[in-house]
C-alpha cells in the first residue's frame, strides 16, 4: 500500500496532516522527527512531509531530521517550521519576523504542481514567528501573502516544496486540495487506504494471537467496534466486560446491557463496581489524579475478573489515535494534554498484554468500520463519552450532589437536542458542573445553588472542535428545564470556547 510519512516536529496540527490525507484514501503515518534514514527506507514511502512545530531553526535545541532524509530523492513538503527547515537546509535564509497568527490571503504566483487548480488566491492559516528572508538557489516563489513574501516555494527539479501556512486546518481554504496535489500529483500515490482493507488486515493479524482476550466495553462506538473486530478474528476466545463505575450517563448501565444482548453475539458480562470507584475518588480534586484513579480501578476490576474467569493473556481496549496523541505517548514530541484512562492512565503493575486494534484510527474512520460491521444506527450516532465518565465533567471533587446534577442536566441537554432534530448533527453535548455557586430566586425565596455549564461542539475527529451555534430557543428550553427540574441549580451557562485553545471535555 502506498503511504506518506509525516515527520512530527511538535505542532498541535501534526496529526491533522495524516487525517486530511487519509480522507482521500491514501495511508499517512506520523513518525518522530528523529527517525533514521534507514527506517524511512524500510517504510518505502511515496513522499515525506515535515510538520510545523514551536521551535526556531536557529535555536540550539531545534529539532532536525537526519541530513540524508533531505537527499532521499523523494518528494518533500515542508509546512511552517518544516518550510523553514527546507529554506535553511538548501542554502536560503530564515529570519525572525513579527508573529503572524490567523487568516491571510495567499496569492498564487505559480499554479503548477502543488498549487494547481486552486484559482488566483485563497485564505490560508498562519501560525509562525520566523519566515524565509532569502529562498535557496534553484527554488522559486510560487505563493505570497501580505506578511510573507515567500509563503510558498518550490524546486521543481528536486520536487521539494515549502509552505509557511497550514493546509491541514479547516481555516485554510482548499487546504485538502493542496495536500491532494502533493500526494496524488507530485508523489503519485495510489488511493488504496480503505476501511474494508483495514478490517481484513486487522482480522488476519488478530487471528494469529495466542490466548484469550478480555475486552472492556463501555457501550461507546470505539470499544464496541474493537470488540466486534476481535470477535470476528477469534470468536469465543473473547469475553466482553462492561463495568458500571457509577460515573455513567442517566440509566446508561441498563441501556448498554440491553443493546449488547439484543444486537451482538459476543460473550457479555456486566459488573457493578460503582461504590469502589466513587470511594476511590472521594476527596480527589485534581483532574489528572481522577483520570489515573479511574484508569487504575478499571484495570483492577478487569484483573479480578480475569483471575476468576480466565486465564486471559490480553486486555483489549478501544483506544484511538487522538487518545494516544493527547496522552503524550505518541511517536512525536507532542505535549501531554491529558491522560486518557486507557492510555496514560494504565498502571505499571498491569500483568495483561494490551490489544488496541483501533490505535491508529480516527473517530470518523471507526464510524465507517462500524457501518460495515452492521452496528445499529442508534449506537453509530451516539455521542462520544469520556472513559473516566462524569468524573471529568465534574470540576473538583466528585460528590453525590454534583454527580446527580451532571446526570440529570446532561440528559436534559440530549433530550432537547433530539427534540430539535439537532442531536445527530453535533459531535458532542453534555452539561458539566463545578464548585461555583450563584444566587437565584425561586418563587419569592432566594436560593444559593450550583452553576451548570452546557457544552455542545462540532467536530470531525475530536482533534479540533468548534462550539455549536445553537438556536436561542433550544438553549432557553435547556436552561428552563435544568433550573426547574434540578433543585440544586440556579444558573445555566453556555460554553463558547473552541478547541484549541480549550479541550472538548472540561478536564
Catalytic residue among 80, 187, 215, 240: 80
The three cell numbers locating residue 390: 462524569
Contacts of 367 (CB under 8 A, 6+ apart): 221, 380
- The reply to whether 240 belongs to the active site is no
Residue 426 grid cell: 453535533
Instruction: State whether residue 435 is helix, strand or coil.
Output: strand
DSSP readout, 413-427? Answer: HHHHHHHTT-GGGSS
128 is catalytic: no
d(CA 77, CA 85): 11
Q: Which helix (H) or strand (E) holds 227?
A: helix 221-234
Helix (H, G, I), strand (E, B) or coil at 263: helix
Q: Roughly what angle, to the nearest 10 degrees, separates helices 221-234 and 195-206?
A: 60
Q: How far apart are CA 38 and CA 44, in angstroms?
A: 10
Active-site option among 15, 128, 144, 166 = 166
- Dihedral angle of Cα 282, 284, 287, 288, to the nearest 10 degrees: -110
Grid cell, residue 284, equals 480527589
What is the β-pairing status of strands 121-134 and 93-108? antiparallel
- Among 168, 297, 414, 416, the active-site one is 168
Query: Measured in Å, how far apart are the chain's first and last C-alpha atoms?
Result: 39
Cβ atoms of 272 and 244 within 8 Å: the answer is: yes
CA 152 centroid distance within chain: 28
320, 359 contact by CB (below 8 A): yes
**Does residue 80 carry a catalytic annotation?**
yes
Q: Which of 65, 165, 68, 41 has the alpha carbon at shortest distance from 114?
A: 165
Active-site positions read 80, 166, 168
Amino acid at each position: 500500500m502506498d503511504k506518506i510519512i509525516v515527520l512530527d516536529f511538535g505542532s498541535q496540527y501534526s496529526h491533522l496532516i495524516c487525517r486530511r490525507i487519509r480522507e482521500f484514501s491514501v495511508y499517512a503515518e506520523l513518525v518522530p522527527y528523529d527517525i533514521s534514514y534507514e527506517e524511512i527506507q524500510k517504510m518505502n514511502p511515496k513522499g515525506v512531509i515535515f510538520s510545523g512545530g514551536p521551535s526556531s531553526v536557529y535555536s540550539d535545541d531545534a529539532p532536525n531530521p537526519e541530513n540524508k532524509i533531505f537527499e532521499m530523492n523523494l518528494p518533500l513538503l515542508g509546512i511552517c517550521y518544516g518550510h523553514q527547515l527546507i529554506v535553511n537546509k538548501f542554502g536560503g535564509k530564515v529570519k525572525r519576523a513579527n508573529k503572524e497568527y490567523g487568516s491571510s490571503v495567499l496569492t498564487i504566483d505559480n499554479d503548477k504542481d502543488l498549487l494547481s487548480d486552486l484559482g488566483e488566491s485563497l485564505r490560508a492559516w498562519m501560525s509562525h514567528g520566523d519566515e524565509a528572508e532569502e529562498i535557496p538557489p534553484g527554488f522559486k516563489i510560487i505563493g505570497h501573502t501580505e506578511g510573507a513574501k515567500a509563503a510558498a516555494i518550490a524546486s521543481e527539479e528536486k520536487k521539494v516544496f515549502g509552505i509557511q501556512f497550514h493546509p491541514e486546518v479547516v481555516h485554510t481554504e482548499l487546504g485538502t486540495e493542496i495536500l491532494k496535489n502533493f500526494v496524488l500529483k507530485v508523489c503519485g500515490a495510489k488511493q488504496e487506504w480503505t476501511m474494508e482493507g483495514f478490517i481484513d488486515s486487522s482480522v488476519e493479524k488478530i487471528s494469529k494471537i495466542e490466548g484469550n482476550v478480555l475486552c472492556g466495553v463501555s457501550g461507546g462506538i470505539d470499544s464496541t467496534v474493537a470488540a466486534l473486530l476481535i470477535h470476528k478474528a477469534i470468536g469465543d476466545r473473547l469475553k466482553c466486560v462492561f463495568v458500571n463505575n457509577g460515573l455513567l450517563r442517566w440509566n446508561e448501565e441498563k441501556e448498554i446491557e440491553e443493546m449488547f444482548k439484543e444486537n451482538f453475539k459476543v460473550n457479555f458480562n456486566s459488573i457493578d463496581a460503582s461504590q469502589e470507584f466513587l470511594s476511590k475518588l472521594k476527596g480527589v480534586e485534581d483532574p489528572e489524579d481522577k483520570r489515573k484513579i479511574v484508569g487504575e480501578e478499571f484495570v483492577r476490576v478487569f484483573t479480578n475478573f480475569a483471575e476468576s474467569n480466565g486465564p486471559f493473556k490480553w486486555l483489549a481496549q478501544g483506544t484511538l489515535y487522538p487518545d494516544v496523541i493527547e496522552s503524550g505517548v505518541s511517536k512525536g514530541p507532542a505535549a501531554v494534554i491529558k491522560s486518557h484512562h486507557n492510555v496514560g492512565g494504565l498502571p505499571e503493575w498491569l500483568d495483561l498484554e494490551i490489544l488496541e486494534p483501533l490505535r491508529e484510527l480516527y473517530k470518523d474512520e471507526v464510524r465507517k468500520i462500524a457501518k460495515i460491521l452492521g452496528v445499529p444506527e442508534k449506537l453509530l450516532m451516539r455521542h462520544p463519552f469520556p472513559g473516566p465518565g462524569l468524573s471529568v465533567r465534574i470540576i473538583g471533587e466528585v460528590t453525590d450532589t454534583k454527580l446527580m446534577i451532571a446526570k440529570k442536566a446532561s440528559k436534559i441537554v440530549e433530550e432537547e437536542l433530539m427534540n430539535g432534530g439537532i442531536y445527530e448533527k453535533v459531535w458532542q453535548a453534555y452539561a458539566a458542573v463545578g464548585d461555583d455557586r450563584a444566587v437565584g430566586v425561586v418563587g419569592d425565596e432566594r436560593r444559593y445553588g450550583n452553576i451548570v455549564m452546557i457544552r455542545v461542539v462540532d467536530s470531525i475527529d475530536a482533534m479540533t472542535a468548534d462550539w455549536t451555534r445553537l438556536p436561542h430557543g433550544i438553549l432557553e428550553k435547556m436552561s428552563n428545564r435544568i433550573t426547574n427540574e434540578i433543585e440544586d441549580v440556579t444558573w445555566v451557562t453556555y460554553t463558547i470556547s473552541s478547541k484549541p485553545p480549550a479541550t472538548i471535555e472540561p478536564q
